[in-house]
Amino acid sequence: MDGEESVVNNNIAWQIGSAQERSTEIFESRNPACHADVLGVFGCATREQIAKAGARAEQAFTAWRKTPAPVRAGVVANFGRLLEANKESLARLVTREMGKPIREARGDVQEAIDTCSFFVGEGRRLYGMTVPSEMPNKELYTYRRPVGVFACMTAGNFPVAVPSWYFVPALVAGNVCLWKPSEDAPLTSYYFAMLLEKAGCPAGVFQVVYGKGADSTGAWLIEAIDAGWISAFGFTGSSQVGARIGEVCGRNLITPCLELGGKNPMVVMPDADLALAVEGALWSGFGTAGQRCTSLGNLIVHEKIRNRFVERLLEKVATITIGDPLDESVLYGPMISEKFLHTHLHHLETLIAPHHTVLTRSNGRITAQSPWPRWRGKMAPDDGWFAAPTVVDGVRSTDPIYAQETFGPLINVMTCRDLDEAIALANGTGYGLSSALYTNTPSYVYHWKEEITAGMTSINNSTTGAEAHLPFGGNGRSGNGSRQSGVWVLDQCTRWQAVNWDLSGALQHAQIETGYIAADVQYRLPC
């Protein structure tokens, strides 16, 4: 990064199209694969700056909501084109800032491009309905209306895709947006906002407040809900913080959009294609170093194939290439930050019980003293936050590791006797985000999709992966039933308005003066 960019990022960069303001509290963005590599320095927005952003957003909403929806969608179309034109540069920045392998980073950006492509059309399809009235000379209509100021906080593991899920439909629907991105990917969010500005987004319509979470910008943005100017709130992150947001939104009669954690199950039945299931488990459990909300948590294998399957899985785990995330051959790179590595190591120390068996030979942090045999990259592993894959066997439904989200390269192996037991184990964690079943028996598939409580499930595919036109979200500890992506997300950023237009020139009383045709209920058929 050149000197000019560093100076820009030392400012708070939180309002598009207006002067920058400095903040006294700052934080750095560092490359997790080489933590000596500093990408930028950012300021934490204060309570006062958040309030100013709110006032600016409310002012911008007056004009933006009256801008025709196809015109608003035109900004999103421009944004999608800019994302496409800058896809490789942005993907490489994502990899450098949060450690996602470059192939996955390209997919992260592509998801945002796909989201733009889908919602450009929704600018001409924000349909309401014309409804027949029970009274004469009376018209009934329904309309989608924007809610107002849409505030949002997102995680750092999908720094391009997930923000697009929130903001692209919110902007098309006529809302103004205020975003607190993760402190793990601030430079990516800076360029996300810059591209929206270049796409023609008016000043004040989309604003970014940088900062940390607890006792910082994130906490103050949640506090701002009580001030009354936030009309909708989106959050992707931990279930604990999501519960706090739900409480604050509840007392303000706001329904938040909460996309929280998961302890995602994968079930492998005896008739499954074992090679395919092994590939699915490997990708689900260790892609992005296990740092997806949809990552595999509990691998539930039928007792008839358990030993055979685990043997194949361990053979495959031994072939994983770990290292430089810019290398096209690595399966995964570093943990997102030092904090995530330390949390992962803490889980290995505290959640693995004496009755468990750790099946992988290398565990914990990868260093020069504890190397990974298939390491790829010029940097030393000690220079970044790298962790080895861990497979734990003998996990029971009474173990803390069974029901706790671990968010790292760690999967549990459990055994089931039949599909009903597998479903009970899959549903028993209290989470309900994603799930997967490997089988070639249609009756198993039907039973599974009827009984699994997760908001998303895959058959003969991994627990991870989302498409821009399908609903994304979970139930239970994984969310409040709200959904992102596809047309379903419009319910999170619009409110329905019913219009009753009486053209009769008289006061008509529905239900009271309705001219229903009376039937002769005394009539009996002559047969």
Which residues are known to be catalytic?
293
Place of tokens 């790292």: 408
12 exposure class (CB count in 10 Å sphere: 0-12, 13-18, 19+)? buried
- CB-CB neighbours of 306 under 10 Å: 18
Q: Which of 183, 210, 359 is nearest to 285 (CA)?
A: 359
The tokens for 291 are 């740092």
Residues 6+ apart with CB under 8 A from 260: 235, 236, 237, 238, 239, 242, 293, 433, 474, 477, 478, 479
Residues 6+ apart with CB under 8 A from 512: none
Pairing of strands 232-236, 149-153: parallel
Residues 6+ apart with CB under 8 A from 314: 359, 360, 391
Note whether 293 and 261 are within 8 A (CB): yes
The tokens for 279 are 């590939």
Query: Strands of 436-438's sheet, edge to edge?
Result: 357-358, 390-393, 410-416, 296-302, 264-268, 436-438, 458-459
Q: Which residues are bridge partners to 40 per DSSP? A: 29
Reported as type and span, the H/E element at residue 299 is: strand 296-302
* Orientation of helix 274-286 relative to helix 306-317, angle to 10°: 50
How many helices (H) and strands (E) would you count in the chain?
A: 16, 21
Local structure of 298: helix, strand or coil: strand
Local structure of 399: helix, strand or coil: coil
Place of tokens 């991105």: 181
Amino acid identity at 283: W
Q: Is the dihedral of CA 56, 59, 61, 66 positive or negative?
A: negative
- CB-CB neighbours of 513 under 10 Å: 11
